[in-house]
């Protein structure tokens, strides 16, 4: 089987996320980027395509032009899967067009702007039978997958508390700069970002990691959000209390204004027998704590790990891997699904994870707006 022909929407010159997707698809070694719409400015899009060695005939001016031209090609030559790496507001209309026209999708998160849009995409994916992957990239780390499998086997006993945090500080330089710099950042504009900045961009990752690793669904949230400055319309910091059940609770803490912090993600699950903790900036270490045994450290590329964790490791033990490899594992799951090969549930986040994420974001915003009250997801 040849490589799967891939297209990309957005992700052109200077785009970090687009570059990450391209690197991941190459590491996965199942895809070939052959065309797309790489920038809203067609000249910049063509400049990018030339730099990447992509034929000018397959550098399109618009999504509609791309779909029309690709569907006119013989089936074995056309793009089969499209990666959407545009700002949030464009995800839904672009995803719907591609799904309606028979293209498989890899989409950045958050999946849509509203819950209704997310549910519409979920229905469309079900009707078409197409593969849809949402890039909650951190689920691709081998030790996150190991954590998931250990919890599913009951290693922790009864789960009694769940915490997750995601702290960054990058936005400080922007919000404490000039007004023009503030308006120039699309993540701070509700028209492009949606109802939330902090929770919509990074808090939802913490939410996803909790539900992914534990297999549990958060039932209710109570949030306290903070825009930090009067001229900011969206949250830049917040704390969310979680209820899974009457006897199981937790917390998500997320911030974009923690000066000096970079990508500080920590997820901790505490049980009656033992507890597990994983930290994104040290992703090759999964810590297990117990009252009766010394602390254990699990690392990738060892036979004691579960199958899905080991299948996500591409290097021998002691060779560090990172965010590109994690994203590559998601792409690998997409390739299996598209080829009709057997794959394990959890190899890539699905459209349902996108729906859950949108429900979380809107519930958190509603809780804060109503005066910090409990809201059902």
Sign of CA dihedral 166, 138, 187, 18: positive
Q: What is the pLDDT along the chain (377 residues), one digit of tens a residue?
A: 699 999 999 999 999 999 999 999 999 999 999 999 999 999 999 999 999 999 999 999 999 999 999 999 999 999 999 999 999 999 999 999 999 999 999 999 999 999 999 999 999 999 999 999 999 999 999 999 999 999 999 999 999 999 999 999 999 988 987 555 555 578 888 998 899 999 999 999 999 999 999 999 999 999 999 999 988 999 999 999 999 999 999 999 999 999 999 999 999 999 999 999 999 999 999 999 999 999 999 999 999 999 999 988 888 888 888 999 999 999 999 999 999 998 889 999 999 999 999 999 999 999 999 999 999 99
Q: Residue 296 CB: number of other CB atoms within 10 A?
A: 13
User: Does any domain span residue 94?
Assistant: yes
CATH number at residue 68: 3.40.50.720
pLDDT for 186: 81
Domain identity same for 50 and 164: no
Instruction: Kindly state whether residues 52 and 75 are assigned to the same domain.
Output: yes
Last residue of a domain, one of 104, 138, 172: 138
Which domain CATH number covers 187? 3.30.360.10
For 282, the token pair is 């040290």
Q: Which domain holds residue 84?
A: 4-138
Listed residues 121, 138, 155: the one ending a domain = 138
- Taking a C-beta distance cutoff of 8 angstroms, is the pair 220, 374 a contact? yes
Both 127 and 147 in one domain: the answer is no
User: Is 252 within the bounds of a domain?
Assistant: yes
Look at residue 177 and tell me if it is in a domain: yes
Domain presence at residue 103: yes
pLDDT at 178 (0 to 100): 56
108 and 169 both lie in a single domain: no
Overall domain count for the chain:
2
* CA-CA-CA-CA dihedral for 168, 171, 175, 180, to nearest 10: -170
Task: Identify whether 341 is part of a domain.
Answer: no
| 193 & 209 share domain | yes
H helices of the chain, in order, are 16-28, 42-52, 63-71, 88-100, 115-128, 142-152, 172-175, 179-183, 190-193, 198, 204-214, 307-311, 323-339, 351-369
Q: Judge if 86 and 191 occupy the same domain.
A: no
- 262 within some domain: yes
> In whole angstroms, what separates CA 330 from the centre of its chain?
10
The domain boundary, picked from 105, 138, 171, lies at 138
| Per-residue model confidence as pLDDT tens digits over 136-157 | 999 999 999 999 999 999 999 9
Q: Which residues partner with 167 through β-bridges? A: 255, 264
pLDDT at 318: 83
Would residue 331 count as lying in a domain? no
Residues 126 and 150 in one domain: no
Q: Are residues 56 and 12 in the same domain?
A: yes
Same domain? For 215 and 148 the reply is yes
Query: DSSP per residue over 179-193, as a string?
Result: HHHHHT-GGG-HHHH
Residue 150 CB partners (closer than 8 Å, separation 6+): 156, 276, 288, 306
Q: Does 253 lie in the same domain as 151?
A: yes
Is residue 235 situated within a structural domain?
yes
Together in a domain, 151 and 67 = no
Same domain, yes or no: 124 and 174: no
């Amino acid at each position: 089987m040849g490589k799967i022909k891939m297209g990309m929407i957005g992700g052109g010159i200077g785009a970090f996320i687009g570059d990450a997707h391209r690197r991941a698809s190459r590491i996965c070694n199942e895809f070939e980027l052959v065309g797309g719409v790489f920038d809203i400015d067609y000249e910049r899009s063509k400049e990018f395509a030339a730099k990447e060695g992509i034929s000018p005939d397959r550098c399109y001016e618009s999504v509609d032009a791309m779909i029309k031209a690709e569907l006119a090609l013989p089936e074995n030559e056309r793009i089969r899967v499209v990666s959407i790496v545009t700002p949030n507001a464009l995800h839904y209309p672009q995803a719907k067009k591609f799904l309606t026209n028979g293209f498989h999708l890899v989409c950045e998160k958050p999946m849509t702007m509203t819950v209704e849009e997310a549910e519409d995409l979920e229905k469309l994916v079900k009707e078409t039978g197409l593969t849809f992957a949402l890039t909650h990239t951190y689920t691709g780390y081998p030790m996150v997958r190991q954590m998931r499998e250990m919890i599913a086997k009951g290693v922790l006993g009864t789960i009694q508390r769940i915490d997750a945090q995601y702290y960054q500080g990058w936005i400080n330089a922007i919000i404490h700069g000039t007004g023009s710099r503030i308006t120039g950042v699309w993540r701070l504009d509700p028209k492009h970002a949606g109802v939330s900045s902090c929770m919509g961009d990074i808090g939802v990752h913490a939410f996803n990691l909790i539900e992914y690793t534990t297999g549990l669904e958060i039932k209710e949230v109570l949030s306290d959000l903070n825009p930090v400055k009067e001229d900011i319309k969206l949250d830049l910091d917040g704390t969310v209390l979680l209820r899974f059940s009457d006897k199981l609770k937790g917390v998500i803490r997320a911030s974009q204004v923690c000066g000096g912090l970079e990508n500080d993600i920590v997820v901790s699950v505490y049980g009656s027998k033992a507890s597990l903790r994983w930290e994104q900036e040290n992703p090759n270490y999964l810590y297990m704590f117990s009252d009766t045994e010394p602390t254990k450290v699990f690392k990738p590329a060892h036979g004691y790990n579960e199958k899905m964790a080991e299948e996500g490791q591409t290097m021998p033990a002691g060779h560090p891997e990172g965010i590109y490899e994690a994203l590559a594992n998601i792409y690998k799951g997409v390739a299996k699904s598209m080829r009709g090969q057997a794959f394990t549930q959890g190899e890539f986040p699905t459209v349902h994870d996108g729906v859950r994420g949108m429900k979380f974001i809107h519930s958190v915003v509603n809780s804060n707006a109503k005066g910090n009250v409990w809201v059902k997801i």
